[in-house]
Amino acid sequence: MNAVLAFPRLRPRAFIASSVVVWFAAYLALSPLADALVAMLPVARESRLFEAIRFFLYDTPKVLLLLTGVVMVMGMINSYFTPERTRVMLAGRTEGVGNVMAALLGIVTPFCSCSAVPLFIGFVQAGVPLGITFSFLISAPMVNEVALTLLFGLFGFKVAALYLGLGLTIAIVSGWVIGRARMEAHLEDWVRQMPKARATIGEDSLTLADRLEAGFASVREIVGKVWPYVIVGIAVGAAIHGYVPEAFMAKLMGRDAWWSVPLSVLIGVPMYANAAGIIPIVEALLSKGAALGTVLAFMMSVIALSLPEMIILRKVLKPRLIATFVAVVASGILIVGYVFNAVL
Amino acid sequence: MSNVKVLGKGCHNCRATVRLIQDVLQEKGMPLDVEKVEDMQDIAAYGIMSTPGVVIDGTVVHAGGIPARAKVESWFN
């Protein structure tokens, strides 16, 4: 047992090569395995129950496998992009380029909403412009690997790519608008009085084995927390698969209901859930005929804007800046929802 | 004995870090005083950008995520 546990530490390259092979083999084996399993059940083929069980048996391991792989890789990538290094890259950037960089770095820099305040202060202290800091703060929670993987696993490449592109656009444009509004005076006084710090990069002496360890740690932490949501989400999806009439939500959240986008954002903003927790709802809404733009707007507003986060940020931002932040991001989400419903 | 502070506003990882440190201290038979620093202004003063942070005798030894057990043990040798 000890020899197995020591393998990634002693031979990191060999471990990565063999895990990639095992991972792909497992992924390819899922579909035939699910078929074989469901065939053993005493359920008539082509029945609704058969379809639902097949869907559950195939999708659950598929999504969990995808998630484990992506979180592992992202955990390793994250070890290159510590918040300290990101800060150095963003310090003194001009608006525009800086906003784009901040939004992109938001994807790869590890971020947890409980760190939002120290991170915010760290950025401001090092001279990262306010608008660029906001681009990062919007992108980091909204555009993350868990959301993207789940969207890809359950709804396909197109939905995931759209979410990625639109999430980044909202982060870039909202940050730029907030920067233009010149609201530095609306930071809390103690934040403005903090001594300026020069951003420096701490030494980085991580070996490949250390990065693997970082990958394992994020799998333990993220997949360990998220898996119950995934299973519930897929169970909901399986139950809907064939059972619920398709047009159920079409009237309420379909493309023709113009007020459905603002309503979704209005409901979504005070709600707080992580990307995994919201997926079952997204899945249920989509398969009952809700329009894609409306559902994505709902999902984005739940993840990007939440009451608990506002309360945390209130420590460093005066009410007017918080209100501006919420208004700008919510308008961005609103536009995205409408554009989507119009184009698709 | 050393002065141990855990910086962080009561999130899951911060609580887990406090437990882990107390666990290691208990194993080594050292007193279990771990001070929790929850005020954002105080946390920011240490210059860390991700929580939980760990400060021992005034020096920041860790920031961001639950530290590995081996790392925690190395602080108290």
* The pLDDT value given to residue A322: 92
What homologous superfamily is domain B4-75 in, according to CATH?
Answer: Glutaredoxin (3.40.30.10)
> In chain A, what are the domain boundaries?
11-78+210-226, 94-195+244-343
Q: Judge: B65–A217 Cβ closer than 8 Å, yes or no.
A: yes
Q: In this predicted structure, what is the pLDDT of residue A63? A: 86
| Cα A342 from chain centre | 25
Q: What is the spatial distance between Cα A75 and Cα A47, in angstroms, rounded to a whole number?
A: 42
Q: Which residues on chain B are in Cβ contact (under 8 Å) with A315? A: 40-41
What one-letter code names the amino acid at A157?
A: F
Q: Establish if B17 touches chain A: CB-CB under 8 angstroms.
A: no
Determine, for residues A115 and B43 on separate chains, whether the beta-carbon distance falls below 8 Å: no
Residue A99: predicted pLDDT: 92
Tell whether B43 lies on the interface with A, counting CB pairs under 8 A.
yes
ipTM of the complex: 0.76
Q: What is the pLDDT of residue A242?
A: 59
Q: Is B44 on the interface with A (CB under 8 A)?
A: yes
Q: Residues B40-53: what's their mean pLDDT?
A: 81
Residue written as token pair 């809390």: A188
What digits encode the pLDDT tens for the residues B9-43?
A: 767 788 888 888 888 888 888 887 888 888 877 88
Amino acid at A312: I
Cα–Cα dist A99/A91, whole Å: 12
DSSP state, A228? H
pLDDT of residue A79: 83
pLDDT confidence of residue A164: 93
Task: Determine the pLDDT at residue A201.
Answer: 57
Mutate to test the interface with A, among B7, B9, B39, B49 (most CBs of A within 10 A): B49
Mean pLDDT, consecutive 10-residue stretches, chain A (344 aa), reads: 71 86 90 84 77 83 89 87 84 87 88 78 86 91 87 86 91 93 85 70 70 85 83 78 60 71 83 74 77 87 83 87 91 88 77
Say yes or no for a CB contact (<8 Å) between A114 and B8.
yes
CA distance A14 to A208: 11
CA distances from A16 to A6, A151, A226, A274 (A): 13, 26, 24, 29
pTM over 0.80: yes
What pLDDT does residue A177 have?
93
B48 closest CB neighbour out of A118, A194, A312: A118
Alpha helices in chain A (DSSP H): 2-10, 12-39, 48-78, 83-90, 97-108, 116-125, 130-142, 145-155, 157-180, 189-192, 208-218, 224-243, 250-253, 260-268, 275-287, 292-304, 307-313, 319-343
Side-chain half-sphere exposure of A257, counting CA atoms within 13 A: 19
Q: pLDDT at position A241, please?
A: 63
Inter-chain residue contact B40 with A315, CB threshold 8 Å: yes
Q: Between A157-180 and A145-155, two packed helices, what is the crossing angle to 10 degrees?
A: 150
Burial label, A227 (beta-carbon count in 10 A; 0-12, 13-18, 19+): middle
Give the sign of the dihedral formed by CA A230, CA A233, CA A235, CA A238. Answer: negative
